[in-house]
Amino acid sequence: MWSDNRYLNSWIQEVATLCQPDATALLTGSPEEMKKLEEALVLKQALIPLSSTLRPHSFLARSNPDDVARVEDRTFICSLAKEDAGPTNNWKDPQEMKKSLNGLFAGCMRGRTLYVVPFCMGPLSSPYSRVAVQITDSPYVVLNMHLMTRVGLPALEVLKDNPFVKCLHSVGKPIVDAKDEADSWPCNPKELCIAHFPEEREVWSFGSGYGGNALLNKKCFALRIASKMARDEGWLAEHMLIIGLTNPEGKKRYFAASFPSACGKTNLAMLTSCLPGWKVECVGDDIAWLNWAADGTLRAINPEAGFFGVAPGTSFKSNPNAMLTIRENTLFTNVALTDEGDVWWEGMTDAPPKHLISWTGADWTSQSRFTAAQANARFTVHISQCPIIDPAYDAAEGVPISGIIFGGRRATTHPLVREALNWSHGVFLGASMTSETTAAAAGELGRIRHDPFSMLPFCGYNMGDYFAHWLSMEKKGRKLPKIFYVNWFQKDGQGKFIWPGFADNIRVLKWMFERVEDSREAKQTPIGLLPKPEDLDLSGLKLQPELLQQLLAVNPAHWKKEASELSRYFALFGDRLPEALSNETVQLQKAFL
């Protein structure tokens, strides 16, 4: 008897029989438990303790070089019907997939410990929260989950004797010889498979120990499975940060923003304002669950309890709040190690230290021809350490959302900011998101791709149905948030970013706040409502007038191309594309004929 939950007890038995671990442990969530795991990993040299003065109680993990990011082409949505996975997901027949997974998992935990990690996504007392259980043979994954979710007995207390989402994970490398025993990052990239069963509410992940492949609480459950639950139950599970924005008069409004992976969510979520009197507070940096409350407001909770943030580019200049968040009790993965026992990555300081040990364990100097940190190097840390944590981050009822922001990484075409004309135009803006690919997923970098709602890799069902679900949110009595679309990433002829970004993004947030409050006018264009240049607060910023003009331009040649590409893309969805979106596309095309 592992717990009071009969489903859990029989599942543990079933998985142990299949995977044949040496030992089984149910996690309580206590700090002592975490300490024991850390000590064991340090002993195995799978964790390097950092300097206790420079980075107290913090560790560095180095992954296998073939296991550094999410792998989208090995990620599957195994819905009963192929059409329910839709044209943007990899589909496999659930029965066939289960058969092959049963083969892969048979005996896969030999020599290892099977950890059972109950976890609650969202505040323990929130009606919007959901409990799941991850079984994993990776102690590194367990440590991450301790930092990022509400784990252990408190989660089991919430669960009681109810069914839960089953998340089964193995690094896919049983210990058979001394080499396996010594391996500090076991994984099995050749057999990698991350399979989702949306109808059964199950995830099976095999072969990776990294990020979204292995921390099944995050993208696998809180987005892919949860998006399907949300559709069935009338809510939204989104790849969004959540912030509170306060103006100099003390009025506060909450915004949620959806940008693709490595496109600025963590940075916006922790923004330090460069405008006096304006303040940002952080509710979450990656995932939002949105529900309609009885009073018609859209309430957001952050299902997570910690950050799994991109390290490269993070500095006291770009994101001081992130730097303060990770000053201690932080788990770093694939960053460089300094001679003093601290961490470093590209962009952390203007000049690199003279000598480093790179993420692969090699000596590094500024003459080296490889980067010191891996491009998708990350920090894992509990949200409570964020100096600008919002007082309501753990509130059961969530926070009321006044504005939703979409955005992507585009060198041209998309202006700094625009506002949707109405809800269905806003859904169209979300559906039409495009962005350059980043190191957050394995594959080519910098290729422009469609990433609707930044959910391309994370939607657990047919994306056409997902669009329809968003459209269906517009109902009588609901206070619909205003919808915006931003682009911090326009470049000049030399390939330099035009907009300073980071702290200066508050200038754009201020305009959106004023729009939400109906206290600013806007200019109507065929792509939405744009700020009048004089309405953007650019005080203290040296920006040449031609550059400001470029930031707010609607270039007809660019938009003609964009609209025709969009029409080609939407055709993929066939009759699952809602009519409202095909109408919007036609309108856009007509405007730039």
Question: Of residues 35, 497, 532, 568, which one binds ligand GTP by CB under 6 A?
Answer: 497
Q: Does 69 bind ligand GTP (CB under 6 A)?
A: no
Q: Which of residues 279-298 bind ligand GTP (CB under 6 A)?
A: 285-286
Cα four-point dihedral sign 141, 142, 143, 145: positive
Q: Which of residues 238-277 bind Mn ion (CB under 5 A)?
A: 261
User: Which C-beta is closer to ligand GTP: that of 172 or that of 264?
Assistant: 264
Q: Which of 28, 459, 435, 406 is nearest to 236 (CA)?
A: 459
Q: Pairing between strand 528-530 and 523-525?
A: antiparallel
Contact of 378 with 308, CB cutoff 8 Å: yes
User: Which C-beta is closer to Mn ion: that of 217 or that of 261?
Assistant: 261
Question: Of residues 186, 198, 207, 264, which one binds ligand GTP by CB under 6 A?
Answer: 264
* CB of 370 vs ligand GTP, minimal distance in Å: 18
| Interacting partner of 113 out of ligand SPV, ligand GTP, Mn ion, none (Cβ under 5 to 8 A depending on kind) | none
Q: Which of residues 427-456 bind ligand GTP (CB under 6 A)?
A: 440
DSSP string computed for 279-338: EEEEEESS-EEEEE-TTS-EEEE---SEEEEE-TT--TTT-HHHHHHTSSS-EEES-EEE
Q: How many residues bind ligand GTP (CB under 6 A)?
A: 22
Q: Which of 271, 3, 274, 250 is nearest to 131 (CA)?
A: 3
Stretch that binds ligand GTP, among 90-98, 181-189, 311-319, 570-578 (CB under 6 A): 311-319
Contact of 369 with 377, CB cutoff 8 Å: no
Interface residues toward ligand SPV, by CB under 6 A:
70, 211-212, 218-219, 261, 286, 308, 440
User: Which C-beta is closer to ligand SPV: that of 70 or that of 425?
Assistant: 70
Contact of 216 with 167, CB cutoff 8 Å: yes
Instruction: Select the residue whose beta carbon is closest to Mn ion and give its number.
Output: 286
Radius of gyration of the chain (CA): 23
Stretch that binds Mn ion, among 180-188, 281-289, 350-358, 370-378 (CB under 5 A): 281-289
What span, in angstroms and rounded, lies between the C-alpha atoms of 488 and 502? 9
Query: What 3-state DSSP class applies to 502?
Result: helix
Q: Which of 8, 351, 2, 280 is nearest to 164 (CA)?
A: 8
Task: Confirm whether 263 is a catalytic residue.
Answer: yes
Q: Does 263 bind ligand GTP (CB under 6 A)?
A: yes
Q: How many CB atoms lie within 10 A of CB 303?
A: 28
Stretch that binds Mn ion, among 82-90, 280-288, 507-515, 565-573 (CB under 5 A): 280-288
Q: Pairing between strand 23-26 and 279-284?
A: unpaired
Q: Does 286 bind Mn ion (CB under 5 A)?
A: yes
Q: How many residues bind Mn ion (CB under 5 A)?
A: 2
Query: What 3-state DSSP class applies to 181?
Result: helix
Residue 122 Rama label (left phi>0; alpha psi -120 to 50; beta)? left
Burial of 451 from C-beta contacts in 10 A (0-12 / 13-18 / 19+): buried
Question: Of residues 86, 198, 209, 313, which one binds ligand GTP by CB under 6 A?
Answer: 313
CA dist list (Å): 133 to 120, 167, 181, 582: 8, 6, 27, 41
Q: Does 267 bind ligand GTP (CB under 6 A)?
A: yes
The pair of structure tokens assigned to 134 is 């991850």
User: Which C-beta is closer to ligand GTP: that of 78 or that of 287?
Assistant: 287
* CB of 219 vs ligand SPV, minimal distance in Å: 4
From the candidates 263, 282, 386, 459, which is the catalytic residue? 263
Q: Does 309 bind ligand GTP (CB under 6 A)?
A: yes
User: Which C-beta is closer to Mn ion: that of 273 or that of 302?
Assistant: 302
* CB of 102 vs ligand GTP, minimal distance in Å: 32
Amino acid at 495: G
* CB of 360 vs Mn ion, minimal distance in Å: 24
CA dist list (Å): 414 to 533, 534, 559: 16, 19, 9
Q: Which residues are at the interface with ligand GTP (CB under 6 A)?
A: 259, 261-267, 285-286, 309-310, 312-313, 318, 440, 488-489, 497, 501-502, 505
Query: Which positions lie near Mn ion, rule CB under 5 A?
Result: 261, 286
> Which are the catalytic amino acids?
263
